[in-house]
Amino acid sequence: MHSKSFHCISIQQLETVLTGLEQPDLIQFYANTDIIETRDWVNLLTHYCPNACRIGMSSEKQIFNGQPQTKGVTLICSYFNATTLIHNCAPIGKDQLNQSCHTLFEPVNEHKGEAIPAGIVLADDLSISSSSLFSQVNTHKTKFCGGLSGLHSSNQTWVLYQDQLLQEHAVLVAFASDKLVIENDAFVDSIDIGKKMRVTAMQDNILQQIDHLPAQQVFNRYLGNGSSTDIKVMNLFALKYKTSHKETHSVPLSFAENGGIIMSEPLPVGAQIKFVYFHPWPSLQGSLEKLNLLYQHPPESIFTFNCISRDQDPILNENSKLKLLSQVQELNGTYCYGEFFTSDTSTKSLQHALTYIGLSETPNEVRQKQGSIKAQASDDSLSAIFNLMNNVFNDLSQERDALIHLSKHTDSDSNDWLYDPQTGLMNRFALLSRLQSAEENDHKTHLTLFRIRNFRLINEQYGYDVADDLLAQLSLYLKNRMGDTFLSLDFSCYRVSANEVAVLLQTDMPPRKVNKFMEKLSEDVESSPFFTTSQATDEISISLSVGLASIFSSTGNLLCKKEHLLIKANEARRQAHETNHLTFWNGDLDLVDQQKDNLNWIVKIKQALDEGNIFPYIQPYFDAKTGKCVGGEALIRAKIDNEIIGPASFLDLIKQTQLYPKLTIKVLETCGQLLRRDPNSHLALNLSVMDFKHVSTLKALRQFFRENDVKGRLILEITESESIHDYQWITSIVSEFREAGALLAIDDFGSGYSNLEKLIELQPDVLKLDGSIIRTIDVDPKLQILVRHINSLAHSLGIKTQAEFVHNQAVQDILVDMGVDYLQGFHLSKPISIQAWNQYSTDSLIKP
């Protein structure tokens, strides 16, 4: 293959170039004109090269023969001998982004035959993150390049696809070939500056707080001595977040409300970050080593994408990356407002980077040449200055941390009072010293020990840095939840071992209430998302065992001495682990019989699962107007010792174990069999928020909808809706399954506190009224008013209603009169076996 490039100042010059030009396979067209001015150029291109794949975008500058160009257009014409071009375009607005990106990459994902080693993507929406844009790419072997369009003086930016000039679209051209050899790299010239900080609030790409201060305030403090700093200056200082397998540079793009900053890449809450300053000198030596390898096997064509922020590079300096790369091969490309680059782990949008991709249809050994890149002698003094700055900042940061620890947490010169360096939490010595200083007869002191049970697996899969960061995320979550509570808790957090966080609590609450509080908090931790990186695919579920120790019992009996709290908390935690409880209190350590009973239940449920004795019973529900059975709810049952056992006996216990997702999947499989057996049947499946957190359950649900065309015949009932904290996350999950044909119901509505506004945002198809507001509706006029209003509200929003616990004729009559859509309860039908359901007619009427 080979490429020819042209730079034209006028449309007449372009026509001269195109006249007699051999028809290329691919044309890349880059121009600094707005969408209106560009139309005539594109029409000319279409007239002379109708058979070529034509892509392009608006760019402030282009690169022609290694030189930046500020006027006119740059044309790159490529010719292939053994490569097929696959191209497409799609809108990329924020609405239905996943579907749009799926459409864009669909030809690549569905391609059969040759490999697709490389592709170019050009996009016209600065607000789209690379993690979203490339989330729908199925192959991890394709190296993508390209970038984001932009013009300083106009919002009329565009991308070109064939003869169309489009806004808020992305274009794709992929190279399908078994012979194509790819070389790609990215040069990001940066140096770390300043102390380590933590992200304490982030929403999507909006950085809200750093170290609990508004993000703008932090940038202004360090870059402007407290004065307002221009966003163009901030743009030179990224925030670096590094894990064991990935480094992210997130660059400020624009200001947001309430002191926030819109960043180029999202950062996980709890991430440890540092300022990064971009300058070419620190990376010069490493760049030369890479470029010399490329020089000795020059690609047949090189396309480059350079960040617009690098337009101040000293281009006349022979050591500029653009000049050095031009020695390898004739260099052509464009400047971008974000450069797409595929590393060994992911495709992302870089900032302040020079990226390139080299294409060849002949092997490396055919393209050999002697020599090396010619570079000027580096300015060793400048490099030394940067090294000195970095080392001084590191020394100052360490000294500052030590002084803060000593001044805030000691009354002496003892070195025991130090923080854990990985998480910033106080350490075990700090906790023991604090316990020693506690009052002897302190009824208010409690210690809770949170141990991450799957910490070792996380270490092995992701590395120590991710595991340490996960512990910091856990402590931040605990601090936020306990700090937000109305109980006005006085607490402090400690890292007492590699996988344990201790919370020392001072409160007037009785121990039993503290235990309940910690149990609920632990449940929320296990059902909340934690992340290894900023990518959604890197979500981790935490499994806990938690021990609580109090000095005194609820009746005032001494349980342990103050200095033994940590020991007793560890004993309670061990008891929780051994009995498959989530939490345990030291006041219950003598309740051995209950513990043995719980363990016995777990053994029995596992045995029932292994023997195929876990299955659902089906409770029919009826149309309130016609009286006809219109579907059934699948309710889990276990057959143990020849007795059918309901979920009340075991489900809460099993939810704390790894057996729980297996039970959900078993019921789902049975629902699939029943729906396939009777194409007219309708079933409802209960799913808790915890179910959506389990990877195996999500995988089983996705496989179910791929294999079954349910078309509204399966209702997903979300239980425990009051435990939903991240509505944006749950909305995206349920939307996926609704698109696959499921209906959505909110179960147990009215059983406790519910965020009505957020639940309505989920747009459920059915709202199930809990038994607590139905059971006594026949004797409680206030409940009648409440249910009537809920029913009217739901109907006004196009939502059906279903009443549970219809246990007598009076309740049934009231609900029918109110206009509730569906009825369910023992008065109408008890849950029945699968065999009975198979014989149950959907035309069956409510019993008279």
Q: What domains, with CATH codes, occur in the chain?
A: 2-187+282-366 (no CATH), 193-277 (2.40.10), 412-590 (3.30.70.270), 599-839 (3.20.20.450)
| Residue 174: φ, ψ to 5° | -115, 150
Residue 841: burial class (beta carbons within 10 Å; 0-12, 13-18, 19+)? exposed
Amino acid at 618: I
Q: Quickly list DSSP for 366-389.
A: GS--------PPP-HHHHHHHHHH
| Residue 619: φ, ψ to 5° | -100, 115
**Strands, DSSP E only, in 9-137?**
26-31, 53-58, 62-64, 67-69, 73-79, 84-91, 118-123
Q: What is the pLDDT of residue 131?
A: 56
Measured CA to CA, the distance from residue 724 to residue 718 in angstroms comes to 10
Q: What is the pLDDT of residue 23?
A: 93
Residues of the chain short of pLDDT 70, as ranges, are: 94-96, 126-132, 138-140, 152-154, 243-247, 278-287, 289, 311-319, 344-345, 375-418, 437-442, 483-489, 533-538, 588-598, 720-726, 750-760, 841-848
DSSP 3-state assignment of 711?
coil
* C-beta contacts of 666-672 below 8 A and 24+ residues apart: 666/609, 666/614, 666/615, 667/614, 667/615, 667/616, 667/634, 667/636, 668/700, 668/701, 668/704, 669/700, 670/615, 670/616, 670/634, 670/834, 671/616, 671/634, 671/714, 672/704, 672/707, 672/708
Measured CA to CA, the distance from residue 156 to residue 224 in angstroms comes to 33
Closest CA to 166 of 124, 120, 208: 124
CA distances from 395 to 222, 311, 390 (A): 18, 33, 9
Residue 242: burial class (beta carbons within 10 Å; 0-12, 13-18, 19+)? middle
Which two tokens mark 6? Answer: 């042209």
Asked if residues 291 and 283 have their Cβ atoms less than 8 Å apart, the reply is no
DSSP summary character for residue 72: S
CA distances from 438 to 202, 562, 572 (A): 37, 7, 21
> Can you tell me which residue has the tokens 């078994």?
178
| Residues 6 or more apart in contact with residue 811 via CB below 8 angstroms | 774, 775, 777, 778, 805, 825, 827
Asked if residues 524 and 426 have their Cβ atoms less than 8 Å apart, the reply is no
> Can you tell me which residue has the tokens 């509570």?
485
Closest CA to 458 of 521, 524, 541: 541
Which two tokens mark 290? Answer: 């890479």
Which two tokens mark 628? Answer: 């006809």
* Number of continuous H segments (helices) and E segments (strands) in the chain: 25, 43
Measured CA to CA, the distance from residue 520 to residue 536 in angstroms comes to 25
Measured CA to CA, the distance from residue 802 to residue 623 in angstroms comes to 9
DSSP summary character for residue 301: E
Q: Are strands 84-91 and 247-250 parallel, antiparallel or unpaired?
A: unpaired
Closest CA to 325 of 69, 67, 70, 73: 67
Q: What is the pLDDT of residue 848?
A: 37
